[in-house]
Amino acid sequence: MSAAVRPAPTADPIGTHAISVFVNNKPGVLVRVALVFSRRGYNIESLVVSADATNAAFSRMTITCSGDPDTLEQIIKQLTKLIDVVRAIDHTGQAVIETETALVKLRCKLDERTELLQISEQYNAKVVDYGPDSLVLRLYGVSAKLDAFFELMSQYDVVELMRSGKVLMARGLETT
């Protein structure tokens, strides 16, 4: 399964939040959005930005962060006041489809490859590069799936690890 519906958050007051921000695709917009978070003491844990697929004049940002919900409410209000922000939505507690992509480079001997490939197959990870003494795997899915995979990989020689951060979309016809 490549994506999953995120369950409703727990009662944890300092939980993880997923915010989508639809903005004009102009220089400096990202910095202004990041400053709103910074001024309120919120750390951005992941940030994915790309031009909108239907109109290159706009970009979509997916921001994952943790912190107090009341402060986040103020951040969302401040974001919507920025000139180049079309809309900002906190998707916490909403039914959304989310996924994340990762690449992992492993140093491995020939005698380890079979075991690594078997583990990779269970997580639907694909080999994207074979080297004489290395493998590069691509994996996608919900963050918990990636975390479990990386936990298993920790017993091997991980050379490099890259994660994309979450991307999400609201279910049904609701706007993201």
Assigned domain for 21 exists: yes
- Over residues 36-47, the pLDDT tens digits come to 999 988 899 999
Distance CA 62, CA 166 (A): 7
Cα separation values, 118 from 1, 85, 122, 128, 149, Å: 17, 46, 7, 15, 12
Is residue 75 domain-shared with residue 134, that is, in the same domain? Answer: no
Bridge-based pairing of strands 4-5 and 96-107 is antiparallel
Domain that holds residue 125: 97-168
Query: pLDDT band at 10, cuts 50/70/90?
Result: very low
Question: Of 95, 119, 140, which one is at a domain's C-terminal end?
Answer: 95
The CATH number of the domain holding residue 51 is 3.30.70.260
- The length of the chain in residues reads 176
Q: Mean of the per-residue pLDDT values for the chain?
A: 89
**What pLDDT score was predicted for residue 16?**
84
- The DSSP letter of residue 10 is -
Distance CA 155, CA 5 (A): 30
Q: Report the predicted TM-score, pTM, of the whole model to 2 decimal places.
A: 0.80
Question: Of 95, 119, 135, which one is at a domain's C-terminal end?
Answer: 95
- Exposed, middle or buried: residue 167 (CB in 10 Å: 0-12, 13-18, 19+)? buried
